[in-house]
Amino acid sequence: QVQLVESGGGLVRAGGSLRLSCAASGGIITINTMGWYRQAPGKQRELVASITRDGRTNYADSVEGRFTISRSDVKNTVYLQMNSLIPEDTAVYYCNVEGRRAGIPPGFESWGQGTQVTVSS
């Protein structure tokens, strides 16, 4: 069972920064795509950013230029650097990781438990 542990959320004033981390563990062989999603109250979960194994990134239009996703394959960890935060960024942020693991079935997709990010005006 692949587990994801998130950290780094919190309360910040508009214009501030936060850095989220998500570490994966549990019989992992390779990790393909890693991503961050968010869900605000009353809204559907949406993709914030993703990064592939070869480093290709994809960002939601609303965070382009303000957020940066990165990864460490040595640590099986994905990061989300969030700068110039605005109140509209307030949500629960979830990491998502998919890849191959030891065991059956070999493919996996796992979600983190979620971390709250609150941006005050």
Q: Is the pLDDT of residue 1 over 90?
A: no
The pLDDT of residue 39 is: 98
The pLDDT of residue 26 is: 93
What is the DSSP annotation of 31-56? EEEEEEEEE-TTS--EEEEEE-TT--
The pLDDT of residue 105 is: 87
Enumerate helices (H) and strands (E) in the chain, giving the number of each: 0, 11
69-72 long-range Cβ contacts below 8 angstroms, 24+ apart: 69/34, 69/35, 69/36, 71/31, 71/34
What is the average pLDDT score of the chain?
Answer: 96
Q: Is the pLDDT of residue 78 over 90?
A: yes
Retrieve residue 121's tokens: 């005006």
- Encode pLDDT of 12-33 as tens digits: 999 999 999 999 999 999 999 9
The pLDDT of residue 80 is: 98
